[in-house]
Amino acid sequence: YRWGYRNPYSGELEGFDIDLVRALAKDILGDPDAVIFRAIPTNQRIAALERDRVDVIVRTMTINCKRLEQVSFSTAYFRTGQQILAPKDSPITGYDASLKGKRVCSGEGTTAYEALEKESYGAIFKDEFDGTERDRDQLTVPNQLDCLVRLQLGEVDAVLTDNALGAGQAAQDPAVALKGAGPFTTEFYGVAAKKGADDLVARVNKVLVDYRAGGKDSAWMVSYRKWLAAGLPGITAPPAPKYRSN
């Protein structure tokens, strides 16, 4: 939600990531509508690229060293970080000791899960059957959006996710909120392509240069104000591009 969702009234796909995809399609394909969208679970994003099911992933995908071994990334198009999402009336105060004994949901293969592996503060976030048919608690889910449903059903006490995603989920459900003073990590989203697709990544980077250009009137800022500013206020510019040498 806010990043990419189907408008229940118009039936159209909308959101911050959708705007970016249409900008890519307009430049590369000559038509912003000449794109085929595919719904991919969080834990299947890289596999979808490797199997040529999609050409690019534009789905709040964090750039990190592990993933750079598996896919090629564009320059960063959004800055985010991990933060706890929990009911407003929960005693959980953030990513801290208040998580002890609490059930925390995260997406399989996400940077949130990796953060919990490094420091869980005593939270219950996995069991020995994770990823198998014997997994009954489903604290780790294939699709990160399933965590919000589990939180709403009371099956988990909190969700760890990117604050950018968490803000969108809080907009969906006013009973939940991001906890703590802010994100405790700094991460960046990028457009992912199949490993070695250097020409495509270069073209995406060119589109991103134009997309960021124009200050407060840039396409990036217009999209931010439309979709994200209400839940993530205070952003005045997109992240500056940093190019990696081959």
Question: Could you write out the DSSP letters of every residue in 195-241?
Answer: TT-HHHHHHHHHHHHHHH-SGGGSHHHHHHHHHTTTTSTT--SPPPP
In a domain, 160, yes or no: yes
75 plus 100 within the same structural domain: no
C-alpha pair distances (Å), 204 with each of 87, 129, 198, 208: 38, 40, 10, 6
| 137, 218: one domain | no
Q: Average of pLDDT values for 60-75?
A: 96
Instruction: Say whether pLDDT at 134 is over 80.
Output: no
Domain count across the chain? 2
Residues 75, 90 within the same domain: no
> Are residues 71 and 131 both part of a single domain?
no
- Assess whether 53 and 113 both reside in one domain: no
**Residue ending a domain, choose from 179, 206, 241:** 179
Closest of 105, 178, 175, 116 to residue 144, by C-alpha: 105
DSSP class of residue 217?
G
pLDDT given at position 234: 93
Specify the pTM.
Answer: 0.91
* pLDDT tens-digit readout, 99-110: 999 999 999 889
Question: Of 179, 205, 239, which closes a domain?
Answer: 179
**Within this chain, do residues 194 and 118 fall inside the same structural domain, yes or no?**
no
Inside any domain, residue 204: yes
102 contacts 157 by C-beta, under 8 angstroms: yes
| Same-domain status, 62 and 42 | yes
Does 168 map to a domain?
Answer: yes
Give residue 193's Cα distance to chain centre.
Answer: 16
- The residue type of 46 is I
Evaluate whether residue 235 is within a structural domain. no
Answer whether residue 117 shows pLDDT above 70. yes
Looking at the chain, which runs of residues are DSSP E strands?
A: 5-6, 13-14, 56-57, 71-80, 82-87, 104-107, 140-141, 158-162, 176-179, 187-194
Are residues 55 and 101 located together in one domain of the fold?
A: no
> Residue 135: what pLDDT?
58
Q: Which domain holds residue 51?
A: 5-80+187-227
Asked if residue 141 lies in contact with residue 150, where contact means CB atoms within 8 angstroms, the answer is: yes
| Cα four-point dihedral sign 185, 149, 94, 87 | positive
CA-nearest of 100, 97, 128, 123 to 112 is: 123
Please name every residue paired with 83 in a beta bridge, in sequence order, or none if there are none: 161
Confidence of residue 139 (pLDDT cuts 50, 70, 90): confident
Note whether 101 and 76 are same-domain residues.
Answer: no
**Where residue 216 sits, what CATH number does that domain have?**
3.40.190.10
Instruction: Encode pLDDT of 31-52 as tens digits.
Output: 999 999 999 988 899 999 999 9
Q: Is residue 246 part of a domain?
A: no
CA–CA–CA angle 201, 78, 181 (5° rounding): 155
Helix, strand, coil in percent for the chain, rounding step 5 = 35, 20, 45
